């Protein structure tokens, strides 16, 4: 992107006297999430594109329902606004490529009254490169990288897909993950396979997984070292979500910090073992809805069994969180299997068709 061959940005430019004027310009036009933004200067946008080796007009994808094209330049503008550095931008772009897969159902996810947010889970060497912290406060503001990457997803939804409250976004309540919902897996702190490898990405590659997710539900069990008893607490929280929110099965994520993880690993349990156990234990009978004020839905099927997971493969097991404390989290799906989590490699093409000769 040097000299006369440097691609030209197509975005409209504005003049502002100072930083405060920039904030008022963006807030008054509804281009923010309510928080201050980093001014997306031409130089900052070009730096993101150059890092990712993307020309401004490169097509990231087309949203399947609204047929809205998303270009690298427009993503980069919003990534800069969120506070992203150039090294963060390939993760944002890959997350968007994953979100636009038909099985993710981006339009339904972002327009529903259900109020989910898009959870981003980062795996591979890129975690180290960007300084992502997978331990303390893993689901909060643990570090700069995950905070701004998660925020970039929300800002791009607002500005590229018009996903604004009361507009496309019909959320009744929502949750704080709509500001930023991104974490990295603690691959160095576990013997388990990274989530990306479990989901088919070759070892050594960096990847992101996106999931339409409700707010995390924290659990605690510090009174046992038995994996079955620990995981039964997770299963109970999944069953509670089936009762209180949606009975239908889909992707769930469980985040297991080190104290509980050490007990489970010491007993020789793998992520697959965890998934199979929770598949069997996280299920309820339809009649249980009558206990929580939903008797009208039971009808003539009181003994019908509903599983929280359609299969063990639908569970995302994530090793993350601080080194002490018998805590964990269950992250429920938006609405059963209407949307499916998608995992994509960063900067690599997996299972691509070979070039035609």
* 197-211 residue pLDDT tens: 999 999 999 999 999
Residues 92-101 have a mean pLDDT of 97
The residue out of 165, 191, 214 marking a domain boundary is 214
Whether 1 is covered by a domain: the verdict is no
More confident residue, 296 or 355: 296
Whether 5 is covered by a domain: the verdict is no
Residues 99-116 have a mean pLDDT of 94
pLDDT of residue 224: 97
Q: Angle at which helices 271-281 and 227-244 pack, to 10 degrees?
A: 50
Q: Which DSSP category does 338 fall into?
A: G
Total domain count, the chain = 2
The two most distant CA atoms of the chain are separated, in Å, by: 72
Note whether 65 and 204 are same-domain residues: yes
Note whether 220 and 318 are same-domain residues: yes
Q: What is the pLDDT of residues 324-341, one digit of tens each?
A: 999 999 999 998 888 999
Whether 25 is covered by a domain: the verdict is yes
> Which of 132, 140, 28, 41 lies closest to 81 in space, CA to CA?
41
Note whether 315 and 299 are same-domain residues: yes
pLDDT of residue 182: 98
Q: How confident is the model at residue 29 (pLDDT cuts 50, 70, 90)?
A: very high
The residue out of 214, 235, 263 marking a domain boundary is 214
Whether 338 is covered by a domain: the verdict is no
Note whether 209 and 299 are same-domain residues: no
Distance CA 140, CA 150 (A): 11
Distance CA 260, CA 219 (A): 11
Whether 343 is covered by a domain: the verdict is no
Note whether 184 and 283 are same-domain residues: no
Whether 349 is covered by a domain: the verdict is no
Q: How confident is the model at residue 66 (pLDDT cuts 50, 70, 90)?
A: confident
Residues 286-305 have a mean pLDDT of 94
Note whether 196 and 124 are same-domain residues: yes
The residue out of 184, 199, 214 marking a domain boundary is 214
pLDDT at 357 over 80: no
pLDDT at 7 over 90: no
Note whether 127 and 227 are same-domain residues: no
Parent domain of 203: 16-214
pLDDT at 269 over 70: yes
């Amino acid at each position: 992107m040097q000299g006369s061959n440097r691609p030209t940005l197509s975005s409209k430019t504005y003049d502002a006297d100072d930083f405060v004027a920039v904030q008022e310009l963006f807030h008054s036009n509804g281009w923010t999430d309510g928080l201050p933004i980093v001014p997306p200067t031409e130089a900052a946008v070009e730096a993101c594109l150059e890092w990712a080796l993307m020309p401004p007009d490169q097509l990231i994808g087309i949203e399947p329902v609204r047929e809205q094209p998303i270009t690298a330049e427009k993503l980069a503008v919003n990534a800069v606004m969120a506070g992203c550095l150039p090294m963060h931008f390939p993760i944002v772009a890959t997350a968007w490529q994953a979100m636009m897969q038909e099985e993710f159902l981006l339009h339904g996810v972002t327009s529903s009254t259900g109020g989910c947010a898009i959870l981003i889970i980062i795996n591979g060497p890129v975690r180290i490169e960007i300084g992502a912290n997978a331990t303390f406060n893993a689901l909060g503001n643990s570090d700069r990288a995950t905070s701004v990457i998660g925020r970039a997803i929300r800002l791009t939804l607002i500005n590229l897909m018009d996903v604004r409250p009361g507009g496309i976004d019909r959320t009744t309540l929502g949750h704080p993950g709509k500001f930023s919902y991104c974490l990295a897996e603690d691959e160095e702190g576990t013997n388990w396979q990274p989530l990306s490898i479990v989901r088919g990405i070759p070892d050594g590659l960096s990847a992101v997984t996106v999931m339409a997710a409700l707010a995390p539900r924290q659990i605690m069990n510090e009174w046992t070292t038995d994996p079955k008893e620990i995981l039964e607490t997770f299963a109970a929280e999944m069953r509670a979500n089936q009762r209180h929110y949606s009975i239908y099965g889909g992707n769930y994520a469980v985040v297991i910090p080190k104290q509980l993880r050490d007990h489970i690993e010491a007993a020789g349990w793998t992520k697959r073992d965890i998934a199979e156990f929770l598949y069997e234990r996280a299920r309820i009978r339809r009649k249980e809805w009558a206990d929580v004020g939903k008797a009208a839905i039971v009808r003539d099927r009181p003994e019908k069994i509903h599983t929280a997971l359609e299969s063990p493969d639908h569970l995302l097991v994530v090793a993350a969180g601080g080194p002490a404390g018998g805590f964990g989290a269950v992250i429920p799906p938006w609405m059963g299997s209407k949307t499916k989590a998608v995992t994509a490699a960063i900067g690599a093409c997996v299972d691509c068709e070979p070039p035609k000769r």
